């Protein structure tokens, strides 16, 4: 049987590239790429196994051989590799990930669940691209590069390939594949569609929530509230909270959604705010996401390990402080009023550590909102509010004394640029460090109150 394996593999690879060599120049790039997408994987899944007596890892050498050949094209004949790309470009990652996914199939002993996921990749993602020919089709709110027509093509393409593979109609899996197709992952949708549909079959509830978080973050990403890295980091952190502690998850989700909305409100109403030009243009980075959630995540892990409810409340308090601080800053800058330093002296609106009446009120309201995760435990609600408000005040004190504020052309900013003048604070900590310290102090206070 081994002799047959070594004969079949080079024969299949040779026939595949001979076909490629003969027809690539006669078809438009999009049509050729989609034909390759729709046909090659199905041939591999349905025909190759008949040439072997059973599923063996050695079958992975078929797609691996294609991968080696494709890398060769990229290196020596990139103009030929272009026909497997898009928009007259090469875009190699999508092709490489596509081949890798099919290499995994025999390594998983031709697992039926993974096979169904590959069918969603083949039929769903393959047919979705046909919608590009309909320029006037309405674009989706999750991804302006994807249309509702493409969503329907992906759904029915997945259904058709799933039926061809296992003679069953799986509406749920086809729908999950169609939603996953909309997530703006650029070239990496091949991996995402395959993995999310595979995990959906293994862990239905958890994967459903994960996909929901991806959809929420996609909306914020396309509206430039987060950078790509910030959006991915946000999804992972929210999902980690979901797995570790429901209360901590609810609090960090409330902070993430409501804090993002309030910051957007500030940017629309107050053009002369203290946000950096980079953040305004691209959204929050991964580091900014981590700064506001790392303490809560660590405490949620500690709660999961120890079972101590004090750690869970401390995690909620950390997120409550972040929302309190965000609302205090956003609404305090937007609705300009008298701003005071922690020493109760009048100062400029927007300066680090500044305190205003509307900001203080909104800080308390923000703390109350996050404390609602304990709506049936009033004593815990009060402890979260106290910890969050005290942490927010600590943030003001640290920001006033240990974080520099600069002014240039009437605009206050956190970072020094040429021509800017320091109007308060020493450059000891960055804004991210202040956020971490303040949420840590809130967490410590919350943990102490639970003793």
pLDDT average per 10 residues of sequence, the chain (451 residues): 47 51 54 70 69 72 76 73 63 79 86 91 82 72 85 91 88 94 84 94 96 94 90 96 96 93 78 60 86 96 95 96 92 82 82 87 94 92 96 91 81 75 82 93 94 80
Residue 259's domain comprises 226-451
Question: Structurally, how many domains does the chain consist of?
Answer: 3
Q: Is residue 212 part of a domain?
A: no
Residues 298 and 410 in one domain: yes
Q: Is residue 211 part of a domain?
A: no
Residues 63 and 1 in one domain: yes
DSSP 132: G
Instruction: Note the pLDDT of residue 325.
Output: 92
Residues 98 and 115 in one domain: no
Residues 180 and 263 in one domain: no
Q: Which two tokens stand for residue 244?
A: 């570790």
Q: Is residue 170 part of a domain?
A: yes
Instruction: Note the pLDDT of residue 274.
Output: 57
Instruction: Note the pLDDT of residue 30.
Output: 61
Instruction: Note the pLDDT of residue 6.
Output: 47
Instruction: Note the pLDDT of residue 343.
Output: 82
Residues 137 and 286 in one domain: no
Instruction: Note the pLDDT of residue 286.
Output: 92
Q: Is residue 208 part of a domain?
A: no
Q: Is residue 166 part of a domain?
A: yes
Residues 307 and 363 in one domain: yes
Write the CA distances from 53 to 50, 103, 403, integer angstroms.
7, 18, 69
Task: Give me the long-range contacts of 355-362 (CB less than 8 A, separation at least 24).
Answer: 355/328, 355/396, 356/328, 356/332, 358/331, 358/332, 359/327, 359/328, 359/329, 359/331, 359/332, 360/328, 362/324, 362/327, 362/328, 362/330, 362/331, 362/332
Residues 239 and 133 in one domain: no
pTM, two decimal places: 0.85
Instruction: Note the pLDDT of residue 298.
Output: 97
Maximum CA extent, the chain:
87
Residues 318 and 389 in one domain: yes
């Amino acid at each position: 049987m081994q002799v047959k394996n070594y004969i079949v593999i080079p024969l299949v690879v040779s026939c595949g590239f001979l076909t490629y060599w003969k027809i690539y120049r006669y078809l438009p790039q999009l049509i050729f790429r989609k034909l390759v997408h729709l046909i090659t994987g199905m041939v591999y899944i349905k025909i190759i196994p008949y040439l072997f007596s059973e599923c063996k890892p050695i079958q992975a050498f078929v797609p691996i051989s294609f991968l080696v050949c494709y890398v060769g094209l990229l290196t020596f004949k990139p103009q030929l590799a272009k026909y497997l790309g898009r928009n007259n470009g090469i875009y190699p990652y999508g092709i490489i990930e596509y081949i890798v996914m099919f290499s995994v199939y025999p390594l998983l002993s031709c697992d039926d669940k993974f096979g169904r996921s590959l069918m969603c990749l083949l039929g769903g993602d393959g047919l979705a691209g046909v919608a590009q020919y309909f320029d006037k089709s309405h674009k989706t709110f999750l991804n302006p590069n994807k249309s509702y027509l493409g969503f329907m093509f992906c759904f029915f393409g997945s259904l058709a390939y799933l039926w061809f593979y296992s003679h069953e109609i799986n509406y749920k899996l086809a729908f999950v594949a169609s939603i996953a197709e909309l997530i703006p992952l650029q070239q990496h949708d091949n991996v995402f569609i395959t993995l999310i549909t595979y995990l959906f079959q293994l862990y239905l509830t958890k994967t459903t929530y994960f996909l929901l978080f991806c959809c929420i973050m996609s909306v914020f990403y396309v509206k430039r509230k987060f950078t790509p890295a910030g959006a991915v980091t946000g999804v992972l952190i929210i999902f980690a909270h979901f797995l570790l502690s429901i209360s901590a998850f609810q609090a960090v989700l409330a902070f993430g959604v409501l804090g993002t909305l309030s910051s957007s409100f500030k940017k629309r109403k107050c053009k002369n705010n203290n946000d950096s030009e980079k953040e305004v243009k691209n959204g929050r980075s991964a580091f900014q996401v981590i700064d506001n959630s790392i303490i809560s995540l660590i405490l949620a892990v500690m709660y999961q390990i120890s079972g101590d409810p004090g750690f869970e409340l401390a995690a909620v308090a950390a997120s409550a402080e972040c929302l309190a601080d965000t609302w205090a800053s956003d609404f305090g800058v937007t609705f300009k009023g008298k701003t005071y330093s922690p020493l109760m002296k009048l100062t400029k609106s927007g300066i680090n550590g500044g305190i205003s009446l509307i900001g203080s009120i909104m800080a308390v309201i923000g703390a109350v909102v996050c404390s609602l995760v304990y709506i049936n435990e009033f004593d815990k609600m009060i402890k979260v509010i106290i910890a969050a408000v005290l942490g927010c005040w600590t943030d003001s004190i640290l920001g006033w004394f240990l974080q520099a504020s600069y002014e240039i052309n009437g605009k206050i900013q956190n970072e020094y640029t040429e021509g800017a003048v320091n109007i308060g604070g020493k450059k000891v900590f960055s804004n991210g460090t202040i956020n971490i310290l303040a949420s840590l102090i809130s967490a410590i206070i919350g943990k102490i109150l639970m003793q």
